[in-house]
Amino acid sequence: MQIYLQHNKWTGAIEGINVSAGENCSLIENDRVTKMLQGNNMQDYIVFNGELLKKDNVLRVPLEKKFTNIEYGKNATVKLNVYPDDALIKVKINQYFLQELIDPFQFDNIQFVHPVLKVFLHSKKSPELLGTLEIDLNDYIKYGEYKQDISTVLSKVNIEDLVFKTQRCFEKYAYEILESDRIKIKKIDRNLIDKDIHLEIVKFSDWDLLVRNHIHYWQEFDSVLNDKITIFFTDRKNRNKLETSFSFKLADIKGNNFIKIKLPWQHIDNIFLEDKEIHVNKKYLKVKYTNENTSN
């Protein structure tokens, strides 16, 4: 007799026993399942290619036939750190996650069903293949790093137009553009590659200001969407003299072109913003002021 086991597509971890036929389900001999359950160690088993297997030193993961674009992000099993100033890509693989997919006590002798990860470099503007990264997992486990010079690639394409594609054998891949110096590694904000502004404060009428959105890559701000953002206008000759201020959250403006700010009524006749300095309380934001009030 056979029963269906439901399992995770990427890790093979068992997620359901004796379920109805469906996606990511495999027919397994009932006595094999009974033996697993008697040992009370279901977490030590995976389903791979329709078989129930006890974890050992072999990393068994699927390989997609289709090509997938690698998205921009911070956390992934396979992470590409791109350093355009150094014309270099460094690949980081989460080895702790790999240990969860095998018997962790056999990690020193790990073997791979798919021992080479391939990443293909393209341009957004052309289908031409610009380069290939081939990460030998055996070498990566041995040496703990993989890096590749991409100076030839960057001579053909701007960094913001670079596209990474792969046939996934892990669920999560990501890339991030970084700049390096001798002291620290600092993330490049992609919103500032072609322009020098995140938010524009616009005087729209005698009574209203607009906060106009110039942020395109919101992934850069996922962790700070609920921070309190305060805009200050101070006297140009005396930065300690506050003229007016207002606050909002980035979450208020995400998905919109602008939000409207009504000036305090007592400031309307007394504030001339053109001779004031504009400041923001968060160093990660760049703002500027524009007067579009046609009634002046």
Answer with the residue of higher pLDDT: 237 or 144: 144
Mean pLDDT in residue range 36-43: 81
Q: Residue 197: which of 292, 285, 290 has the closest Cα?
A: 285
Question: Are 82 and 185 contacting, i.e. CB atoms less than 8 angstroms apart?
Answer: no
More confident residue, 198 or 35: 198
Least confidently predicted of 79-88, 180-189, 215-224? 180-189
- Note whether 140 and 81 are same-domain residues: yes
pLDDT score of 180: 67
If pLDDT is split at 50, 70 and 90, which confidence band does 182 have? very low
Least confident of 118-127, 149-158, 217-226, 238-247: 238-247
Would you place residue 132 in the very low, low, confident or very high pLDDT band (cuts 50, 70, 90)? very high
Query: What are φ and ψ of residue 175, in 5° steps?
Result: -135, 155
- Regarding whether 50 and 146 lie in a shared domain, the answer is no
Q: Can you give the residue range of the structural domain that contains 46?
A: 2-54
* pLDDT, mean of residues 31-56: 88
Same domain, 184 and 127: yes
**CA–CA separation, 216 vs 145, rounded Å?**
32
Q: Which of 141, 157, 188 marks a domain boundary?
A: 188
Region 77-96: mean pLDDT is: 93
In this predicted model, what pLDDT tens digit does every residue of 135-156 receive, in sequence order? 999 999 988 899 999 999 999 9
The pLDDT tens digits of the residues spanning 242-276 come to 777 888 899 989 878 889 887 765 454 455 666 67
Do 176 and 218 sit in the same domain of this protein? Answer: no
pLDDT in tens, 5-25: 999 999 999 999 989 989 999
- Same domain for 237 and 163, yes or no, is no
CATH label of the domain that carries residue 109: 2.60.40
Q: Does 60 reside within a domain?
A: no
Query: Do 117 and 173 fall within a single domain?
Result: yes
The pLDDT-based confidence of 296 (bands split at 50, 70, 90) is low
pLDDT digits over 157-178, tens only?
A: 999 899 999 999 999 999 999 9
- Which residue, 148, 165, 188, sits at the end of a domain? 188
239 and 281 inside one domain: yes
Q: Does 63 map to a domain?
A: no
Residues in the chain, overall count: 296
CA distance 137 to 153: 23
- Looking at the structure of the chain, the number of domains it has is 3
Angle made by CA atoms 179, 185, 191, in degrees to the nearest 5: 45
- Residues in a beta bridge with 79: 92, 174
| Structural domain contains residue 62 | no
Residue 124 lies in a domain: yes
Buried b or exposed e, range 10-44, using 16+ CB within 10 angstroms: bbbbbeeeeeeeeeebbebeeebbeebeeeeeeee
- Residue 166 shares a structural domain with residue 277: no
Please give the share of the chain, as a percent, with pLDDT higher than 90. Answer: 48
In a domain, 296, yes or no: no
pLDDT at position 136 is 97
Q: What is the pLDDT of residue 283?
A: 84
Pair of tokens at residue 129 = 């293949």
Average pLDDT over every residue of 32-46: 85
The average confidence (pLDDT) of the chain is 87
Last residue of one domain, picked from the residues 135, 155, 188: 188
Helix then strand then coil, in percent of the chain rounded to 5, is 20, 40, 40
- Indicate whether 93 and 170 sit together in one domain: yes
